[in-house]
Amino acid sequence: MKIVVLDGYTENPGDLSWEGFEALGEVKVYDRTPLNEPQTIIERIADAGAVITNKTPVSKETLAACPGVKYIGVLATGYNVVDVIAAKERGIPVCNIPTYGTAIVGQFAIALLLEICHHIGHHDRAVHEGRWQECPDFCFWDYPLIELADKTLGIVGFGRIGQTTGKIAKAMGMNVIAYDEMENDAGRAIAPYVSLDALYEKSDVIALHCPLFPSTQGMINKNSIAKMKDGVIILNNSRGPLVVEQDLADALNSGKVYAAGLDVVSTEPIRADNPLLKAKNCFITPHISWAAKESRQRLMNIAVDGLKAFIAGKPINVVNP
């Protein structure tokens, strides 16, 4: 079987190995494939039996032009880049990676929060620029420093990642409340569930860990922000379109929202005209919550296991059964 990886660089920029796939067939790895060049995509997978993609789209038209494709593996949890209905019509299982970054994504959410509270990067640069050497006092700070103990963290989306974030926050002395459409005992053991409006009203910090559905798209907007405490902190390392970005930028600039820590935005890479780039107290990282080597290795292992299972006739993590 020929296995084609359409965009392998972000998963493996050189610190991992493709040997797991190489043991299963002939492997061709492309670091990147142009997203808006369907003919290039077709040419690259024309003779493939298995296609591995992260963000490169695999459309109905592409599948029609590549009848040899029998398997599609997605190097991510989200699989909207693949026309799963068209794949199912052709008997092609589409398999994703449902769980691989729970620990690191929860850790990263807290890292965003701690940077907002302490501005460590800024103060490190200030020291290296010589400002501490010239300071008449034994210390200085340029921003308010925030203690998190006894403050309330509201988590929207209390699945595995949300619960991980909640556990870390509780270890720092925070009070944690949660909202999720599907409550469960594992969540109740960590924090009480409340209504979404109650979470908005009571939280000093709000962390988004929910999937992107029609019901959650744009959930952080001027109306929901109006229900929040003055000076709330908002964290999002889940999905960019959960936030109406102009509304959040306006709230940051007015001071209604004290700060935001974001690892995702609505269009990625970020556009130069994104209003959050010029908003006050907005910390933005380039969608890297998931990218620790440990979690990428875990993702690689699961992806290889998925193809092995398909070859054995027992596919796993199928999103279009």
C-alpha to C-alpha distance for 295 and 291, rounded to whole angstroms: 7
pLDDT at 111: 98
What is the distance between the alpha carbons of residues 113 and 85, in angstroms, rounded to a whole number? 39
Per-position pLDDT tens, the chain of length 321 = 999 999 999 999 999 999 999 999 999 999 999 999 999 999 999 999 999 999 999 999 999 999 999 999 999 998 999 999 999 999 999 999 999 999 999 999 999 999 999 999 999 999 999 999 999 999 999 999 999 999 999 999 999 999 999 999 999 999 999 999 999 999 999 999 999 999 999 999 999 999 999 999 999 999 999 999 999 999 999 999 999 999 999 999 999 999 999 999 999 999 999 999 999 999 999 999 999 999 999 999 999 999 999 999 999 999 999
Domain segments of the chain as ranges: 2-100+293-311, 102-284
Which residues fall within 8 angstroms of residue 183, CB to CB, at 6 or more apart? 158, 193
Instruction: Catalytic residue, from 123, 209, 239, 298: name it.
Output: 239
Write the pLDDT tens digit of every residue in 199-228: 999 999 999 999 999 999 999 999 999 999
Task: Say which amino acid occupies 76.
Answer: A
61 is catalytic: no
Q: Work out the burial of residue 130: count CB atoms within 10 Å of its CB; fewer than 13 is exposed, 13-18 middle, 19 or more buried.
A: exposed
d(CA 64, CA 85): 13
Q: Which amino acid makes up residue 252?
A: L
For residues 87 and 152, give the distance between their C-alpha atoms in angstroms, rounded to a whole number: 45
What is d(CA 172, CA 106) in angstroms, rounded to the nearest whole number?
Answer: 14
The string of pLDDT tens digits covering residues 291-317 is: 999 999 999 999 999 999 999 999 999
Using CA atoms, how far residue 252 sits from 13, 107, 117, in Å, is 35, 24, 15
Domains 2-100+293-311 and 102-284 share a fold: yes
Asked if the peptide bond before residue 211 counts as cis, ω within 30 degrees of 0, the response is no
The CATH number for 102-284, chosen from 3.40.50.720, 3.10.110.10, 3.40.50.1950, 3.30.800.10, is: 3.40.50.720
**CATH of region 2-100+293-311, choose from 3.40.50.720, 3.40.50.2020, 3.40.640.10, 1.20.1090.10:** 3.40.50.720
| Active-site residue identified among 61, 89, 183, 268 | 268
Sequence-separated (6 or more) residues with CB below 8 Å from residue 138: none
Q: How far from 80 is each of 35, 58, 286, CA to CA, in Å?
A: 14, 9, 20
Predicted pLDDT of residue 160: 96
Catalytic status, residue 287: yes
**Structure-block tokens of residue 197:** 């409006």
Q: Which residue in 90, 118, 160, 287 is the catalytic one?
A: 287
User: Is 128 assigned a catalytic role?
Assistant: no
Q: Which two tokens stand for residue 319?
A: 């999103």
